[in-house]
Chains A and B, each alone.
Chain A
């Protein structure tokens, strides 16, 4: 079997050999696709709801992974961008009667703008400041949604139109499951392409040693801002389809706990590693389903898990390398 290159190795860990050889790569991709298409028929309709949610988390976690895993910045208010996407779609389809697909670029633009406004000034400072400013920003967005008339105050927005695509009305749970499958696949492809790009290598340098990176001619602030803005757009994309899927959104869907759960998905599985992040998203969503009687212990279990991971295995559950060195 061909040896995977360093980049594939870093992104995929022990799965990397599968991606090194064109034939095994094609076979494994086909297997994943078959599994995705067949899963709802296999597991039934309740599982489809949960799996849709897990796929939404895959999109969100891969987005946050660009900020945390690729660029090494801590964002504690990621749910804010998720909210920006959801509310932009909600407001523009309902209040202004826009077509859902037209609101998508608006949502992405709004999230990018919010990312620049928050990230622009703070990314120049110590990285700890970004963490706490994002925490504050997350609260600002949630509280604004609670208080503004246009966002429907505490009760939120409901009756958000479900989109049509070339005569196909996306309205059943199964339809949305496949929509989220497509979104998750796009998120994976974009993540892989970004990691292998010039920008991806710049993030790697900045994460390892900022001063050296700057000495090599990398514009530290610009590169971090790019990560922050791209992450924001992933969040808004997830939020837009989340709003269309549920048809109703309220401020409490975008609380600090939401931001924390997305962050846990990124870190538990292994930040920076794509299968790790996907695994993390599934753990965060499927874990509580499998352990039903956890109840309010759920977050405590995750919190202790997070602490143990940080103390004993900071690189996450997913193994690091395919080749022991």
Chain B
């Protein structure tokens, strides 16, 4: 393979990885926007999304088939279920803590993450569950580059979801309210915006996006397990920070940047795939040190 082939090959890998990171990072950043909380449980919602998608597909594949149509149906079901789970978590665990000290709500978020993780661990005995689909391995050849249809559908779906989100946030009443709540919650309350409802909508959308990513990742990689949300939760946070936490276009950009960085990073001599994760965390720490507001973040310095 020539250098150019390696480049295009890693470009595709990076786009696929980046799509997952971006979808999960969006939820992080939106939730951070409205309640200023790093939702540690977000990676686990991705994991639960993968499992719900897996269960849904097993249940309906005899009717709708196990190819992309079936997967999209399962994904939609998973998005609704996990969206509701996200709203429930906010109501039960985070809502009573909104005025508590920062440390308490962070630990609560960690506790929620552990409860989700270990519930699934107990139910599955920590085993990988094979995610059976009827997806083929077909694709198209572009010169020396082979792109599978699965990769194209996956990146395309992620892009569509992100365009839909962008339209929702910029063009609808709810989206405008969501942006307003992110700027000043108290003032929104005074202006007659139903702040708890907006927070609930935000949790629903953020969790649903994570579930979409989880279902697609399960179908794409062929298995789901209870710990799959841990690493991607960390990576998506990194992506959100790279893009500028709180910024929705930033999360999309950050996800892609991190996906590409990782794909190309493994090509650096001495980095290799076993150092891939170390490489991304090193990127996170460097970004936080040199540009904590990220690429598209606001420059206000907030201290908590």
Binding site for B on A (CB under 8 A): 68, 72-74, 76, 118, 121-122, 125-129, 131-133, 135-137, 139-140, 143-144, 146-147, 210-211, 256, 260, 263, 267, 296-297, 299-300, 302-304, 306-307, 310-311, 314
**Contact mask B274-297 → A, CB, 8 Å, 1/0?**
110110011011001100100000
B241 to chain A: which residues have CB within 8 Å?
Answer: 129
Query: Per a CB cutoff under 8 Å, which of B102, B110, B126, B292 touches A127?
Result: B102
Tell me whether B122 and A297 are in contact (CB under 8 A).
yes
With A129-B288, A256-B230, A311-B96 as known contacts, state yes or no: A210 contacts B303, CB within 8 Å.
yes
Query: Per a CB cutoff under 8 Å, which of A122, A144, A304 touches B115?
Result: A304
Complexed CA–CA distance, A72 and B292 (Å)? 21
Cβ of B132 to closest chain A Cβ, rounded Å: 25
**Contact mask B119-161 → A, CB, 8 Å, 1/0?**
1011001100000000000000000000000000000000000
A133 to chain B: which residues have CB within 8 Å?
Answer: 284-285, 288
A-B contact pairs, 27 of them (CB 8 A): A72-B101, A74-B106, A76-B110, A127-B103, A128-B37, A128-B102, A131-B106, A132-B234, A133-B285, A136-B238, A140-B282, A143-B275, A143-B278, A146-B274, A147-B274, A211-B303, A256-B230, A260-B110, A267-B107, A296-B122, A297-B122, A303-B117, A303-B118, A310-B93, A310-B104, A310-B108, A311-B96
Tell me whether A314 and B114 are in contact (CB under 8 A).
no
Complexed CA–CA distance, A144 and B278 (Å)? 8
Number of chain B interface residues as a range: 35 or more
**Contact mask B77-98 → A, CB, 8 Å, 1/0?**
0000000000000000100110
With A122-B288, A129-B292, A296-B125 as known contacts, state yes or no: A307 contacts B111, CB within 8 Å.
yes
Q: Which residue of B lies closest to A128 (CB)?
A: B38
Q: Which residue of B lies closest to A306 (CB)?
A: B111
Cβ of A96 to closest chain B Cβ, rounded Å: 25
Cβ of B180 to closest chain A Cβ, rounded Å: 22
With A139-B281, A307-B93, A311-B93 as known contacts, state yes or no: A128 contacts B106, CB within 8 Å.
yes
Q: Is B184 close to A, CB under 8 A? A: no
Say whether chain A's binding surface is mostly helix, strand, loop, or mixed: helix
B289 to chain A: which residues have CB within 8 Å?
Answer: 121-122
Tell me whether B285 and A300 are in contact (CB under 8 A).
no
B114 to chain A: which residues have CB within 8 Å?
Answer: 260, 299, 302-303, 306
Of residues 191 to 223 in B, which have CB atoms within 8 Å of A's CB atoms? none
Tell me whether A126 and B278 are in contact (CB under 8 A).
no
Q: Which residue of B lies closest to A315 (CB)?
A: B104
Q: Is B112 close to A, CB under 8 A? A: yes
Q: Which residue of B lies closest to A153 (CB)?
A: B274
Q: Is B190 close to A, CB under 8 A? A: no
A296 to chain B: which residues have CB within 8 Å?
Answer: 121-122, 125-126
A76 to chain B: which residues have CB within 8 Å?
Answer: 110
A300 to chain B: which residues have CB within 8 Å?
Answer: 115, 118-119, 121-122
Complexed CA–CA distance, A144 and B125 (Å)? 28
Complexed CA–CA distance, A72 and B304 (Å)? 11
Q: Which residue of B lies closest to A309 (CB)?
A: B111
With A131-B38, A135-B234, A299-B114 as known contacts, state yes or no: A307 contacts B103, CB within 8 Å.
no
With A210-B303, A303-B118, A310-B111 as known contacts, state yes or no: A136 contacts B284, CB within 8 Å.
yes
The interface centre, meaning the residue of B96, B103, B274, B278 with most chain A CB atoms within 10 A of its CB, is B103
Complexed CA–CA distance, A306 and B241 (Å)? 28
Tell me whether B277 and A143 are in contact (CB under 8 A).
yes
Q: Is B264 close to A, CB under 8 A? A: no
Cβ of A295 to closest chain B Cβ, rounded Å: 9
With A144-B278, A303-B114 as known contacts, state yes or no: A74 contacts B103, CB within 8 Å.
yes
B104 to chain A: which residues have CB within 8 Å?
Answer: 310, 314
Cβ of A69 to closest chain B Cβ, rounded Å: 9
